[in-house]
Structure 1
Amino acid sequence: MQATEASWAVEPAPASLLRRLAVTWQHPRTRRYHPVGVLEQTSHGFRFTYLAGARAVLGARPLLGFHDYARVYEAENLFPLFAARLMDPARPERPRLLEALSLDALAGPLELLARSGGRRTGDSIELVPEPAVHADGSTDCLFLVHGVRYAPGADLVLSRLRRGDRLTLLDDAQNPVNPLAIVVADEANAPLGWVPDPLVDYVRHVRQNGAARLQVERANGPEFGHHLRLLVQLEGTVEPDYRPFSGPEWRLGTASPSYV
């Protein structure tokens, strides 16, 4: 059956569950992350769909295992490209990783990917969770701060941060990669990193509605690598008709199901 074009805003994921993730790809030259697809957990398993603009971003090198830009891929088990990004449950360091991500031992695969980003060394793929928006317009989102290694003095500040510490958001209009970039800083405006590019529009909407609250969920030591150094939680409100990850950039392409 032929599927129609759609936006995430048509059928938002349940606000209390992390069941829908943006699949993003980092350009090797600009280092900017571009959304290229959607990974969802369904009642029958898992589904991956390219965004309409994915071909323009990836060109002749589609993601491994997803060679056809014009199809919806469905499977009972998590696709190998994403399953390989999960730590083996038998690994002795797994409990420490879960603690660093503020997760418990019962966390499912999409929860783990949403919280960790699913990044691998030398890899260009990162997964970003769709923020939760509730019926009353309240919203919340947990995300890892990007670019900690490029923020001068961040290591010292991070060593002092504790869960619940308030943080602030600053515009970074002079950013050479993305003039809409938003800096994450401590209350003294010391920069700690940046909001992930796919979340910038969402964070902008939260800020426009006033009472945005950003705080530390977890500040990890250097042994976890720069990518996992700072996990933060943003809470606030958005316009009644706003949905994250919607609009032209997030439009799904016309596709037909392909069960694998």
Structure 2
Amino acid sequence: MSIKDGKDYLYLIWKSEKSRKQYIVGQLIKNGQYEFQYYSDVETAINDGFMPLLCFQDLNKVYKSDKLFPIFASRLPDRKRKDIKKILDKYDLEEYDEYILLKRSGARLPIDSLEFIDPILDTDQAVKRIFYVAGVRHYLECSGKNCEKATEITRGDQVYLKQEKDNAYDNNAVQMLSEDGKVFGYVPRYYSAGVSALLEKGRNIVCHIYNVDQNKNCNECIKAIMEVKK
């Protein structure tokens, strides 16, 4: 888990349909009670089309609650569902814990472009993250509808990570390279600062292709797994 100063953090990510950029628009904190506040990306995201959540209209306020905010809890499967055991097994949960389920599932819905991610905050601990590779559409030069060119990349392939400090959009940008040294995408921006810090510390990062799905659009066709041992 991403714990800092005794607090457990989740980032709320929003993806613009117009620019396809992902923004960290908020952070949810569990520290005895729940806290939600907007993140530094939110104003830039608003300029790109993001609408503040109806129950969190004040961009500067820290909202607090003894229970998980209903707007987030409602994104989770009902604990009374007949197949809830199967869902819990999928996320390696022995019992229903809405915060951990939120963290592990991301709570994505087809009706919006929001999801939660588990940030990389403590770069001295073990880290394991599975994520979609960013920027694939640009590097594979595909149509954006399917990933025919992703056939050159297969499950289990080793991936190399390289900082790109002169990147015009993200000074923490981390390129993802195939075994033959070709760039095929980037670490998502919401993980780039953490991964960049891991690289600068000389941590032993092992990264492989986790899955390739040619039937998905080019924003979600290649998934990678990254692990750092303590």
TM-score, length of structure 2 as denominator length: 0.69
CA RMSD of aligned residues (A): 4.0
Residue type at the aligned position of 1:92: D
Greater relative contact order (CA < 8 Å, ≥ 6 in sequence): 1
Give % identity.
21
Displacement after TM superposition at 1:48 (Å): 0.6
Aligned to 1:34: 23
The answer to whether the 8 A contact 1:145-1:184 is kept is no
Displacement after TM superposition at 1:204 (Å): 1.2
1:81 corresponds to 2:71 = yes
Q: 2 CA distance for matches of 1:94 and 1:221?
A: 27
The answer to whether the 8 A contact 1:148-1:154 is kept is no
* Match among 25, 32, 45 for residue 43 of structure 1: 32
Q: What do residues 98-127 of structure 1 show as CA deviations (whole Å, max 9, x unaligned)?
A: 53x5x3343633333333333222522232
What is the count of residue pairs matched by the alignment? 215
Q: What do residues 182-214 of structure 1 show as CA deviations (whole Å, max 9, x unaligned)?
A: 333443446664312121122111112224312
1:145 corresponds to 2:135 = no
Q: 2 CA distance for matches of 1:180 and 1:123?
A: 27
Matches within 5 A, 1:87-166: 87-89=77-79, 90=81, 92=83, 95=86, 99=90, 103-106=92-95, 108-131=97-120, 133=122, 137-147=124-134, 150=137, 152=140, 153-154=149-150, 157-158=153-154, 160-161=155-156, 166=158
Q: 2 CA distance for matches of 1:72 and 1:106?
A: 30
Paired residue secondary structure (2:54)? coil
Q: 2 CA distance for matches of 1:97 and 1:156?
A: 34
Aligned to 2:146: none
Runs of 5+ consecutive residues of structure 1 not aligned to the other structure = 1-10, 238-260
Q: Alpha carbons of 1:172 and 1:53: their partners in 2 closer, same or farther (altered >3 Å)?
A: closer
Q: 1 CA distance for matches of 2:207 and 2:111?
A: 30
Q: 1 CA distance for matches of 2:153 and 2:166?
A: 23
The answer to whether the 8 A contact 1:131-1:139 is kept is no
Aligned to 1:213: 205
Residue type at the aligned position of 1:68: D
1:22 corresponds to 2:11 = yes
Runs of 5+ consecutive residues of structure 2 not aligned to the other structure = 141-148
Displacement after TM superposition at 1:180 (Å): 5.2
Q: 2 CA distance for matches of 1:67 and 1:93?
A: 33
Q: 1 CA distance for matches of 2:220 and 2:96?
A: 20
Aligned to 1:195: 187
The answer to whether the 8 A contact 1:64-1:81 is kept is no
Displacement after TM superposition at 1:57 (Å): 3.2
Aligned to 1:250: none
Matches within 5 A, 1:34-73: 34-44=23-33, 46-51=34-39, 54-58=42-46, 61-73=51-63
Q: 2 CA distance for matches of 1:98 and 1:216?
A: 24
The answer to whether the 8 A contact 1:154-1:192 is kept is no
Q: 2 CA distance for matches of 1:91 and 1:228?
A: 31
Displacement after TM superposition at 1:54 (Å): 2.7
